[in-house]
């Protein structure tokens, strides 16, 4: 059984945009799993794909991974079409599905060795690459252990190692943090950050929005197959006229200050709670600074100002409506 | 460079240093063996390596291997003791060999094929096939790796019993060629059954489908076990009565037929594992053409080889069997080919034949139901005509069957015409359904069944109704009723009008189909973008200027965000 797999050198992207979806549609009968989704991810960036279950995240990721065909539209990885040039895409792509995809009766080394061979890595290069992956994912101590006995976190690391074994330029990670304990999540975040720092372009989906907010350069929010918003969290907040919550502690005349604020633009939903005046502020940080200066000039004895923008979770909840197909 | 990156680089340096130190301490001859083994391993199919590692550690293999070992030992002792004292003076090999055959047939014809089936089925079921699909391995490499691993297991089982078989041979009563023939038969049957089992593994999805396909595979394996057993027993007991040259010809003929059929199955299995956007059809059509060529060639050769005198009249059974086989084969294959998706991705269109001659000869091998219909019809006509010509030759040489040649020709023409009409029916039904729902090629089997049933039932029901449900005799109004018409043709009691009607209709519909779908039948080849061509050249190792050096540690890369 002689194989004809040509050993392929790892390819590092020479394209500024590594992932691009153009008007992507995928229909399953009457269900529109992916409906006119377009976005792009630049080289070395981490893109978070957020959406409720059944939103179309996995379907679009599978299309990008050349495992499914779109009903309409195009998707490109490193400038190559996933429809017309799937082989070229596959050499550049590491895919980690939401299921582990492991084998019985093999240990971690054998598992990674098999995929390294399947990607055409040969000789000492393969051994070195295997060792590097085991070291990077922190599974070196587990090399001889059977996969069956690994914890979920270790299996997840191993699967990330498998996706990295051929040194791809683009990584697609479908729910990599699902079911992981906090330490494993922090480790995953570290690994993703490190890979992005090395120039890998990463598309990652997750339900744990706080994780995504910390590791992603930009996010896309998808619901019912439609991409509702895309960009950095701040950009989406700005686009959506996201409110910033401001809380003032005023030593006296809190009611009067509330009336003063109510007359100003950018301020709404004022609540007076003893010495505290809470409100929602629509505007830039510079507008906020102007407002504070005006209040102090107006002679209100402000002891404390607290401001916090809404989290990715708040953005997600505002953008989506919780509909399921 | 961050602290974390530095630590990784340090680790890699440690790995390299450690590796160098261990290499320096190893004797040169061991290093050579190690390098040679690594190079050899790199040339092997990764699936073979993985499957063998898995199989040798699996409980199933260990249990079967141990049981076989102990059972063969037990039969050697028990069989020998039972044969005492005759074992010293009379031939006792057949009795012992039958026992060994029974022991060996279970793992080789049942356990190994079922394990191969389970292995591929679990790849589909557990999602690992998706992971394999995006590696450099082709679907055919995946299948051949599974086949090779199963064959290796078979060889291990064979090796276990080899000393026992050798022992049986020393007891006299079975000659070496018979023993070799038995082993070839067992191994070839085992390999074919593995291919059949692999074919069934990805055929159905869902729990119900899996259970159904497992039952089908088990039924086939059990039936084969019972079919091959008596042949093996008779071979062991009576030996091979044919001369060596005849035996070899017969063996080669059976192997050629089996191999070409298994090739069709392998190509079909690989097509099931091939992603949707790629060309899944051309390989199967080539395999079908090859199979048809082998079938006809083998039949011709066997008839010519075994024809000795005018008394070799039983050879006429070969072309008749060939005709029956072709009808059944094309009813299934034609339905599947005519149900292919009409969508041609630009990727497939890039590979279409470009020259005039290429377009003329090879367009019928490109995917799509329209080309599929032409391919099926033309190949069917060619092979059925070949089977009739072969029968004609036999009849002329032996004088047997001469009176029935006309009847056979009529049957051949009618069967071909009816199948052509059925293919057109399948094409229409599938096109209608596909406009509304996603349709798999397997629906083609149901479509041909519906078409054939309608062709029979509709005229019969209409004439019954018009005749107030009284019995009526055959008339040209029943021309589409293929069951009745073929029966009449078999009884040589059919009007020429009916034959002209059926053949004329089939030919007219076929030509109309060609005219209506001319544009679709001849899709235009698309040019491959230069960047893609360059990249493929690079992958093939032909263009050495383009690749960037691998940089797994990212040491050379600048921060892209900077």
Tell whether A82 is covered by a domain. yes
Judge whether residue A3 has pLDDT over 50: no
Minimum-distance CB partner of A84 among B47, B346, B539: B346
Interchain CB contact of A16 with B (< 8 Å): no
Nearest CA to B41 out of A228, A91, A122 is that of A122
Whether B407 and B459 map to the same domain: the answer is: yes
- Using a CB-CB distance cutoff of 8 angstroms, which residues of chain B are in contact with residue A91? 136, 539
Nearest CA to A97 out of B500, B130, B432, B359 is that of B130
Of the residues A62, A105, A195, the best mutation for testing chain B's interface (the one with the most B CB atoms within 10 Å of its CB) is A105
Tell whether A1 is covered by a domain. no
Whether B300 and B236 map to the same domain: the answer is: no
Tell whether A325 is covered by a domain. no
- Using a CB-CB distance cutoff of 8 angstroms, which residues of chain A are in contact with residue B42? 117, 122-123, 126
Interchain CB contact of B278 with A (< 8 Å): yes
Residue A23, both tokens:
């008007």
Whether A229 and A289 map to the same domain: the answer is: no
| pLDDT, tens digit, 9 for 90 and up, residues B490-544 | 888 888 899 999 999 999 999 998 887 666 556 567 777 777 777 777 777 655 4
Whether A86 and A189 map to the same domain: the answer is: yes
SS3 for B418-457, per residue? HHHHHHHHHHHHHHHHHCCCCCCCCHHHHHHHHHHHHHHH
B4 and A190 within 8 Å at the Cβ level: the answer is yes
Whether B216 and B350 map to the same domain: the answer is: no
pLDDT mean across residues, chain A: 84
Whether B302 and B168 map to the same domain: the answer is: no
Whether A177 and A258 map to the same domain: the answer is: no
Whether B280 and B137 map to the same domain: the answer is: no
The whole-angstrom separation of Cα B555 and Cα B402 is: 83
Task: Quote the ipTM score.
Answer: 0.80
Whether A95 and A166 map to the same domain: the answer is: yes
Whether A229 and A249 map to the same domain: the answer is: no
B42 and A65 within 8 Å at the Cβ level: the answer is no
Highest-scoring range by mean pLDDT, A27-31, A311-315, B444-448: B444-448
Whether A81 and A182 map to the same domain: the answer is: yes
Give pLDDT, residue B14.
Answer: 58
Tell whether B74 is covered by a domain. yes
pLDDT band (50, 70, 90) for residue B562: very low
Whether B177 and B299 map to the same domain: the answer is: no
The whole-angstrom separation of Cα A256 and Cα A295 is: 11
CA A256 to chain centroid, in Å, comes to 45
Instruction: Give the domain extent around A153.
Output: 17-238
Nearest CA to B237 out of B99, B375, B105 is that of B99
Distance from CA of A318 to the nearest CA of B (A): 30
Mean pLDDT of B469-493: 90
Judge whether residue A115 has pLDDT over 90: yes
Whether B441 and B321 map to the same domain: the answer is: yes
Tell whether B18 is covered by a domain. no
Whether B183 and B134 map to the same domain: the answer is: yes
CATH of the domain at A103: 3.40.50.300
Whether B229 and B285 map to the same domain: the answer is: no
Instruction: Give the domain extent around B179.
Output: 61-243
Q: What is the tally of structural domains in chain A?
A: 2
Judge whether residue B394 has pLDDT over 60: yes
Nearest CA to A44 out of A247, A181, A288, A217 is that of A217
Q: Which residue has the tokens 């199933």?
A: B60
Tell whether B403 is covered by a domain. yes
Whether A128 and A213 map to the same domain: the answer is: yes
Interchain CB contact of B63 with A (< 8 Å): no
Of the residues A8, A10, A85, the best mutation for testing chain B's interface (the one with the most B CB atoms within 10 Å of its CB) is A85
Interchain CB contact of B486 with A (< 8 Å): no
For residues B76-85, b (16+ Cβ closer than 10 Å) or e, as one string?
A: beebeeeeee
Give pLDDT, residue B311.
Answer: 65
For residue B556, the 8-state DSSP code is S
B135 and A44 within 8 Å at the Cβ level: the answer is no
For residues B367-382, b (16+ Cβ closer than 10 Å) or e, as one string?
A: bbbbbbbbbbbebbbe
B277 and A83 within 8 Å at the Cβ level: the answer is yes
Distance from CA of B20 to the nearest CA of A (A): 12
At which of A222, A238, A254 does a domain end? Answer: A238
Q: What is the tally of structural domains in chain B?
A: 2
Tell whether B548 is covered by a domain. no
Whether A155 and A304 map to the same domain: the answer is: no
| pLDDT, tens digit, 9 for 90 and up, residues A126-176 | 888 999 999 888 888 888 888 888 888 888 889 999 999 998 999 999 988
CA B553 to chain centroid, in Å, comes to 45
Whether A79 and A138 map to the same domain: the answer is: yes
Whether B404 and B491 map to the same domain: the answer is: yes
Give the Cβ contact number of residue B155 at 10 Å.
Answer: 13
Minimum-distance CB partner of B532 among A12, A66, A88: A88
Whether B230 and B290 map to the same domain: the answer is: no
Whether B235 and B283 map to the same domain: the answer is: no
């Amino acid at each position: 059984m002689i194989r004809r797999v040509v050993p392929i050198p790892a390819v590092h992207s020479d394209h500024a945009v590594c992932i691009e979806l153009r008007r992507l549609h995928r229909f399953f009968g009457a269900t529109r799993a992916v409906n006119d989704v377009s976005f792009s991810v630049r080289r070395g960036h981490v893109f978070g794909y957020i959406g409720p279950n059944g939103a179309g995240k996995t379907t679009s990721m599978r299309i990008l991974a050349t495992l499914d065909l779109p009903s309409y539209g195009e998707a490109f990885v490193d400038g190559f079409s996933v429809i017309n040039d799937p082989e070229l895409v596959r050499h550049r792509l590491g895919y980690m599905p939401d299921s582990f995809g492991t084998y019985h009766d093999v240990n971690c080394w054998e598992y990674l060795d098999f995929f390294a061979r399947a990607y055409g890595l040969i000789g000492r290069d393969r051994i070195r690459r295997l060792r590097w992956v085991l070291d990077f994912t922190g599974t070196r101590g587990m090399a001889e252990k059977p996969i069956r006995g690994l914890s979920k976190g270790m299996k997840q690391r191993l699967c990330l190692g498998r996706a990295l074994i051929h040194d791809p330029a683009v990584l697609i990670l479908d729910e990599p943090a699902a079911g992981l304990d906090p330490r494993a999540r922090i480790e995953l975040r570290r690994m993703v950050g490190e890979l992005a720092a090395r120039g890998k372009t990463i598309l990652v989906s997750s339900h744990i929005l706080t994780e995504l907010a910390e590791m992603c350069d930009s996010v896309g929010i998808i619901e019912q197959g439609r991409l509702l918003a895309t960009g950095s969290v701040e950009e989406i907040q700005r686009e959506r006229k996201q409110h910033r919550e401001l809380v003032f502690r005023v030593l006296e005349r809190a009611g009067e200050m509330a009336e003063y604020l109510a007359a100003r633009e950018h301020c709404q939903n004022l609540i007076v709670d003893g010495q505290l005046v809470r409100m929602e502020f629509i505007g830039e940080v510079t507008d906020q600074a102007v407002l504070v200066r005006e209040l102090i000039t107006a002679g209100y004895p402000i002891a404390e100002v607290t401001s916090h923008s809404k989290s990715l979770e708040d953005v997600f909840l505002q953008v989506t409506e919780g509909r399921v197909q | 460079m961050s602290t974390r990156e530095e630590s990784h680089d340090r680790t890699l340096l440690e790995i390299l240093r450690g590796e160098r130190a261990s290499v320096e301490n190893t004797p040169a001859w061991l290093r050579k063996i190690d390098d040679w083994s690594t190079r050899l391993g790199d040339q092997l199919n990764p699936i073979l390596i993985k499957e063998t590692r898995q199989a040798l550690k699996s409980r199933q293999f260990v249990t079967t291997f141990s049981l076989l070992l102990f059972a063969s030992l037990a039969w050697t002792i028990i069989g020998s003791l039972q044969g005492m004292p005759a074992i010293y003076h009379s031939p006792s090999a057949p009795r012992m060999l039958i026992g060994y055959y029974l022991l060996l047939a279970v793992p080789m014809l049942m356990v190994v094929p079922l394990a191969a089936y389970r292995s591929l089925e679990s790849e589909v079921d557990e999602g690992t096939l998706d992971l394999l699909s995006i590696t450099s391995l082709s679907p055919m490499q995946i299948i051949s790796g599974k086949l090779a691993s199963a064959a290796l297991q078979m060889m291990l089982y064979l090796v276990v019993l080899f000393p026992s078989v050798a022992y049986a041979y020393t007891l006299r009563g079975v000659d070496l060629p018979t023993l070799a023939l038995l082993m070839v038969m067992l191994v070839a049957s085992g390999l074919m059954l593995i291919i059949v089992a692999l074919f069934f593994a990805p055929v159905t999805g869902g729990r119900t489908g899996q259970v159904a396909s497992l039952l089908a595979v088990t039924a086939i394996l059990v039936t084969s076990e019972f079919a091959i057993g008596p042949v093996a027993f008779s071979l062991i007991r009576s030996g091979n009565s044919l001369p060596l040259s005849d035996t070899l010809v017969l063996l080669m003929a059976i192997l050629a037929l089996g191999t070409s059929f298994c090739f069709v199955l392998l190509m079909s299995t690989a097509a099931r594992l091939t992603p949707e956007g790629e060309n899944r059809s051309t390989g199967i059509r080539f395999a079908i053409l090859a199979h048809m060529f082998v079938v006809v060639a083998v039949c011709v050769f066997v008839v010519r080889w075994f024809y000795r005198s005018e008394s070799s009249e039983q050879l006429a059974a070969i072309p008749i069997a060939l005709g029956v086989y072709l009808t059944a084969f094309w009813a299934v294959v034609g339905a599947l080919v005519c149900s292919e998706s009409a969508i041609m991705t630009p990727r497939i269109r890039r590979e279409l034949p470009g020259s005039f001659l290429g377009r003329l000869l090879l367009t019928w091998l490109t995917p799509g139901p329209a080309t599929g219909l032409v391919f099926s019809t033309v190949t069917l006509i060619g092979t059925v005509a070949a089977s009739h010509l072969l029968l004609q030759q036999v009849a002329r040489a032996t004088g047997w069957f001469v009176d029935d040649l006309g009847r056979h020709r009529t049957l051949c023409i009618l069967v071909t015409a009816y199948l052509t009409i059925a293919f057109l029916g399948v094409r229409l039904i599938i096109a209608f359904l596909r406009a509304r729902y996603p349709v798999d090629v397997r629906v083609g089997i149901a479509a041909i069944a519906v078409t054939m049933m309608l062709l029979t039932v509709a005229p019969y029901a209409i004439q019954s109704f018009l005749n107030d449900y009284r019995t009526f005799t055959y008339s040209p109004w029943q021309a589409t009723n293929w069951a009745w018409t073929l029966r009449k043709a078999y009884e040589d009691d059919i009007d020429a009008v009916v034959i002209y009607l059926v053949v004329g209709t089939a030919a007219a519909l076929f030509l109309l189909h060609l005219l209506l779908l001319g544009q679709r039948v001849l899709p235009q080849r698309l040019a491959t973008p230069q960047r893609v061509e360059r990249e493929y050249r690079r992958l093939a190792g032909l263009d050495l200027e383009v690749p960037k050096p691998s940089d797994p540690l990212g040491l050379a890369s600048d921060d892209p965000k900077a």
